[in-house]
Chain A
C-alpha cells in the first residue's frame, strides 16, 4: 500500500513515462516465457526429444503464413477509451479503470484495450498489474507488430518500475520493438 502511494506521488498522471527511479521491487514474479539470454530472437521451446523424429528431417510441407493482423477499436470502445483518458487527466484513476473495464466487456480480446488498461495501472503505480495487462496484450496482439510494439512499451515500463531492468532490456530487443 505504502509503496503504491509513494509511487503515486512520483508518477505524473498523464505522462506515462514511468522513470527508472521507480524501484518498486518485491512484486511477485509471474510466469515468464523462457527466453534466450543475450537478447536474440525468441526461439520456440524445443519439442519433445521428438517421438519418432527422423534423423534428417524432410522439409516440412509449405504452410501458409497467417496474414498480418491489425487491431482496431470499434466506435463504441474508441469513445470509451477517450472517456477514460479524460477521467485519467482529471486524476480519476478508478473511473478510468472502470470505463476501460466497460470497453473490455464489449471487446474482451482487443489488445489495444489491455494496453490502455496497462497504462492506467502504471499511473496507479501498480506495476505488477500493468505488467500482466501488457503480457496479455502481447499474447492477444500476436501477428500484429504495431500493436505488439505498443504492448512491449508498456511491458518495458512496467518491468523497469519493478526494477527488473534486465528483463526490460530483453523485451526491448524483441523484433517487434523495431
Chain B
C-alpha cells in the first residue's frame, strides 16, 4: 500500500514536472516566436515607413524672348503645373491671362543651382514665341524658368517606384472612407478585431460560404509586407501576432499612412501598383490630392479585389463597386447627398494612355543614378532627382510611335503579332536624354526595348566605315569606289557573298553616293580596304561599349546594339567628334539642397572634327538624295537634317538614326520574336522619327565648318567637281581645303584626269 501510494505520488510528481517543463518550454518558445515576429515586422515597417523616396523632376521649361512657346502653350504649361487662374496677388501658384499677356505669381522653387523665392512676373507671348518678359517691379527679366514638373518618386537603392504619400497629403475623405469600408473599428482595436472576426464567422455560417473577411487594416498591411495569400491557420496566427506587435509599437496614424502607401491596387504588366499615390497616377494621372469623391471611391473599392474590379478590364463591375462605396460614404455622412448624387452619375474617368507617367524614362534614371552616384549617398532620405526629361518630347515620341505602328500593323493584315518599337530623343550637345519610349504600350513598365533590346544595326554601321575612310586621309566624299560583287572566304570555310538591297550593281560611285544610297558592295570593299580592326576601332571611339567581332559582315551591321547604344554613337557624329556622355540625371540634391557628388566625365574629343564634318555633310545627303527621301513630306519645309537608315537581314529590324540642330533621335521598329517585318528603315522607323522631330520645332542641322575644310559641289553620280547650277545632280560636300577634285569638263573648264590616273584608279578598285 505505501508502495502504491508512493509510486502514485511519484507519478504525479513526474507529471507535474513534465507538464511544468512543457509549459515553460511553450512559454519560452512562444515568447521567442513572438519576439522573432516582432523583430521581423518592425524591421519591415521601420524600413518602409521612414524611407522617404526621392522625388523625380522633369526639366523645367526655359522662357526667354524668342523661346518657341506660344501663349496657348504657356497656359497649358501653367495648368499642367497646377497653377490656377485668378488674382495673382492672392498668392503663389496663381496666374492671370489677358489676351497674350500673362501675370504670374510663381511659386518658391528649388532648382539645381538656386532656390527661387516666390516671384511675380509678367510675360507676353504671341502665337509662336515669347515676345517679352519683366518682373512686376518693372525690372528686366532676360530668362525665367517654370517649376520643374514632378514625374514620380523612387527609392534609388532598391529601385521600386512608388509615389509615397506623406500624412499631410492624405485626403480626409480617403482617411475616413477606407476605415468605413475596410475596417470600421480601426481606431479601437489592437491589431486584431475579435468582434469583427466573430461577426464574419457568423455571417459566413449563415450564408454557408465566405462572404465577409475579418481582417483589419493592420492585418492587411502585414499581409502586403510578406506577400502571401496562404489561408492556413499558422499563417493567420502569424499575421495576427504581427499585427498586434505593430500596433504595440506604432501609432494608428503611422499604421494608416503605411497602409495607404502599401496596399495593392492593381497590376500594370509585370509591375504591381502599390499605394494610393501611385494608384491615383496610374488610374487617373492626377496627384492624390486632386481626386474627386467618385475617383477616391473607385480606388477604395479596388482594395477588396484589384483584379476582380479592374476598371479597365471590367468597367461594369468597377462602376457597381464604386457606386456601392459612394452610397456607404453618403450613409455615413462622409459626403453630402448632392455630392453623392453627382458622383454616382459620373463616368469612371480613367486617364487616357500616356501623360506624365513615364516608366521607360524612370528606368533609365534609375540606371544612371547607379552609374553616376555612390550608393551610400543615394540612401539618404528626401533626395530630389533632377532629370532632363522633356515632357513634350516624350509625348511627341510616344504619339509618333503608337500611331505609326498602328498604321503599319494595319498594312500587314496577316499578322497576329503586333509590331514593336522604341524611340530615344537626346540633345546631342549636352548628352541630355529628353525622351525614352520603350515600346508601343507606353504605360507598361515591362521590357524596355529602348535600353535592352539589342538588335543588329544594319546600315547604321556604315557611317563608321566612311568616317574611318575620311580619317585615313586616303579618301574624300568625292573619291570613287567600286560597287561590284564580292565573294569572301570566311575563316570557317564558308563563302560570304553580300548583295545590295535592290540586288543591283552600281559600278564606280563616289563615297557620298555610296553612303547616301546605302550600297552594300561598295561599303564592304571600302571597309576591307581600310581593314576591319580600323573600322571596329572607330566604332568604339564613337561610343560602342564592347568590341565587335571582327567578321567582314560587321561592315553591314551584324553587330548588335540597343537603341541607347546607337544614340551614344550617333551623338558623337552630331556633335563634331565630341563624345558626350548621355545623361538622364542632371543633378541630385539632398534635403538641404546641396548637390550630391557625381562621377561625371562629360565630354571627350574622340574623332577629328574635320573628318566628322565631312561625314556629316554626307549624312545630310541621305534625306535629300538617298534612302531617307520620304522624310521630307513629314517635316517642316526647309528643315535640314542628317541621318542614316538601317535594315538588318531579311528586314527583321528597321532603324533610323538622325539629327537636326536641336535634337538627335534613334528609332527601332521590329517584332519581339525577331520575325521579318517586310519594312526597310525608311518604311518602318523613318516615319516615326520624322513625326517625332516635326513636333519638336527643331532648328536645322548647321554644323560649323572647321577651317581646314571647305565646301565644294560634285556630281552625285560621277563625283566630278561641278557648280551648284550645273547638272541636275550637283550636291554639296566638304573636303579638306585645297583638295584637287577631277572636274566635270562641261561645268568647269579644267583638264580631264589623265589616262594614267584612270588606270591607277581602276587597278586600285580591283586590287581591293
Q: Using CB atoms and an 8 Å cutoff, list the residues of chain A in contact with chain B.
A: 30-31, 33, 42, 44-55, 57-58, 60-61, 63, 66, 74-80, 87, 92, 94-96, 98-99, 101-102, 104-106, 108-109, 129, 132-133, 135-136, 139-143
Report the separation of the CA atoms of residues A30 and B580 in the bound assembly, to the nearest whole angstrom: 13
B753 adjacent to chain A (CB < 8 Å): yes
Tell me the bound Cα distance from A140 to B703 in angstroms.
Answer: 8
Query: Which residues of chain B come closer than 8 Å to A50, judged between CB atoms?
Result: 739-740
A28 to chain B, nearest CB (A): 8
> Given A44-B737, A105-B62, are A132 and B113 neighbors across the interface (CB < 8 Å)?
no
Separation of A96 and B112 alpha carbons in the complex (Å): 10
How far apart are A126's CB and chain B's nearest CB, in angstroms? 9
Q: Using a CB–CB distance below 8 Å, which chain B residues touch chain A?
A: 62, 64-67, 112-114, 142-143, 145, 427, 429-430, 432, 473-476, 479-480, 576-578, 586-587, 595, 601-610, 661-662, 704-710, 712, 723, 735-740, 742-743, 748, 750-751, 753-754, 757-758, 760-761, 764
Q: Select one of A57, A76, A102 contacting B740, CB under 8 A.
A: A57
Residues of B close to A63: CB separation below 8 A: 710, 712
In the complex, the answer to whether A48 meets B143 with C-beta atoms within 8 Å is no
Per CB-CB distance, the 3 closest pairs between chain A and chain B, nearest first, are A76-B64, A108-B429, A52-B753
Q: Output the nearest chain B residue to A176 by Cβ-Cβ distance.
A: B707
Shortest Cβ distance from residue B738 to the other chain A in the assembled complex, whole angstroms: 7
**B723 contacts which chain A residues (CB < 8 A)?**
61
Query: Do the beta carbons of A79 and B473 come within 8 Å of each other?
Result: no
Contact B738 A48 (CB under 8 A): no
Minimum CB–CB distance for B512 against chain A, Å:
14
B66 proximity list for chain A (CB < 8 A) = 74, 76
Contact B754 A129 (CB under 8 A): no
- Chain B contacts of A77 at CB under 8 A? 143
Q: How far is the CB of A56 from chain B (nearest CB, A)?
A: 9
Q: Provide the residues of chain B in CB contact with A54, threshold 8 Å.
A: 740, 742, 750-751, 753-754, 757
How far is A63 from B114 in the complex, measured between Cα atoms in Å?
A: 50
Q: Are A66 and B705 in contact (CB under 8 A)?
A: yes
A106 / chain B contacts, CB cutoff of 8 Å: 62, 64, 67, 143
Complex contacts, B735 vs chain A, CB 8 Å: 47
B587 touches A98 (CB 8 A): yes
Chain A residues, Cβ within 8 Å of B742 = 51-54
Residue contact B65 to A76, C-beta cutoff 8 Å? yes
Q: What is the CB-to-nearest-CB distance from B341 to chain A, in angstroms, rounded to a whole number?
A: 50
Give Cα distance in the complex from A42 to B602, angstroms: 28
Would you list 24 pairs from A and B whose C-beta atoms are within 8 A, ordered by A residue?
A31-B605, A33-B608, A47-B740, A48-B473, A51-B742, A52-B742, A52-B761, A58-B750, A74-B64, A75-B142, A78-B142, A92-B113, A101-B430, A102-B113, A105-B62, A105-B432, A108-B429, A108-B430, A109-B429, A135-B578, A136-B578, A139-B578, A141-B704, A142-B706
Chain A residue with the shortest CB-CB distance to B541: A31
B610 interface neighbour in A45, A92, A136, Cβ under 8 Å: A45
Inter-chain CA distance A74–B662, complex, in Å, is: 17
Query: How far apart are the CA atoms of A77 and B708 in the complex, in Å?
Result: 29
Cα A55 to Cα B751 with chains together (Å): 10
**Alpha-carbon distance between A42 and B738 when the two chains are bound, in angstroms:** 13
B142 CB contacts on chain A under 8 angstroms: 75-76, 78-79
Q: When chains A and B are docked, how far (Å) is the Cα of A151 from the Cα of B360?
A: 39
